[in-house]
Amino acid sequence: MAEIEGNKSAKDYGIGIPQETPGFHVKGSAAYDWGMKHRLSQIFHPRTGRVVMLAFDHGYIMGPTSGLERVDLTIVPLIPYADVLMCTRGILRTVVPPQCIKPVALRTSAGATVLTELSKERIGVDVEDALRLNASAQAVMAYIGAPFEHETLGVLTDTIDAGMKYGLPTLAVTAVGKDMVRDARYLGMSCRVCAELGAQFVKTYYCEPDFEQITAACPVPVVIAGGKKIPEPEALELAYKAIDQGAAGVDMGRNIFGAECPVAMIQAVRAVVHEGEKPAQALEMYQTLKRQLS
């Protein structure tokens, strides 16, 4: 068995050489059956192979955080501009209109809050309830290097197994604790572990340098987390650099619903992700839309 000490650092990432996925547009998904591919096609746009996910599942560990005090007022107006909604079943059932036709990445891990050890999670939503809610994916945390790594990876693999029975993809969300360094070595390991365990796509943080090594070495799509709120120009720059270095999309929350004009911001992010718009042009688009909507 491989050991931590003595392993050589990886170096041959084949940067710039796309991974082949014959007959399908989602990386690493050519061998799946029709149902799995159909749901992945709802998530990743067939034209671009990319996705803009709108994350508003923060309340499951943090309660009514800033910008999510009234999800009906802050998030529902953004739904038309998102490709995918990432939320909990409680919010989906109580706030998201059932007329909504957007695919849902349903938060299915649970069991801890910011007041305790976050890595001590369990399966919080079984696959039958996820299907009852017509979810297009299950989203679970993967706490690599955390105190309860073993348990959380067990939750991940159990979720993947359940999803495979029904053609329901699993999104592995790589969690970074306060004592973990967000560098390419750690994030690359986390993403690869999740993919090797069978996750259909992975959410992680952008890092510099060497983010392209993370996306190249992960055989399934990598979607970046928006992270904490930063100024709008920086958020657009973040999205652009991640896409340019191989990310298949963004899963932004606070940098969209926390923007000065959220409706304009999500459209500017879409322009970066799906149209390859440069940050300066996307910012100009944001400012123009903000003036029009004010």
Catalytic sites, residue numbers: 203
Q: Are 69 and 83 in contact (CB under 8 A)?
A: no
Phi, psi angle pair for 22, to nearest 5°:
-55, 125
β-strand 122-123 against 84-87: which pairing, if any?
unpaired
Q: Is 112 left (phi over 0), alpha (psi -120 to 50) or beta?
A: beta
Report how far residue 92's alpha carbon sits from residue 129's, in angstroms, rounded to the nearest whole number. Answer: 12
- CB atoms under 10 Å from CB of 66, counted, come to 11
Closest CA to 251 of 81, 55, 78: 55
Buried b (16+ CB within 10 A) or exposed e, 89-120: bebbeeebeeeeebbbbbbbbbbbeeeeebbe
Contacts of 76 (CB under 8 A, 6+ apart): 95, 96, 97
Matching residue, tokens 């067939």: 46
Q: Are 137 and 131 in contact (CB under 8 A)?
A: no
